[in-house]
Amino acid sequence: MVQLNATAAQVLEVLAASGDLEQVCSVLRARFPHVPESVIRRDIDTLLDSLRKHGAVAGA
């Protein structure tokens, strides 16, 4: 079982609804305006890589 924090859950919700990583980044930039976009993108990539390794997502 994989447990997600609120931000990770939001990433998956937006990704499931839009299928667009750019939309995910936009939502997180609005939520965390003090965080550089490069950090947000890196964190999304890290999350998705981790979820893929655990078999929780495919092809995202």
Could you read off the pLDDT of 10-39 as tens digits, one per residue?
999 999 999 899 999 999 999 999 999 999
Residue 45 confidence (pLDDT) above 60: yes
Give the contacts of 37 (CB within 8 A, at least 6 positions apart).
25, 29
Both structure tokens of 23: 């939309």
Question: Sorting pLDDT into bands at 50, 70 and 90, what band is 9?
Answer: very high
Amino acid at 42: R
Helix, strand, coil percentages for the chain (3-state, nearest 5): 70, 0, 30
60: nearest Cα among 18, 26, 32, 4: 18
Question: Would you say 31 and 5 are in contact if contact means Cβ atoms under 8 Å apart?
Answer: no
Residue 60: what pLDDT?
Answer: 56
User: Model's pTM, two decimal places?
Assistant: 0.85
- DSSP label at 2? -
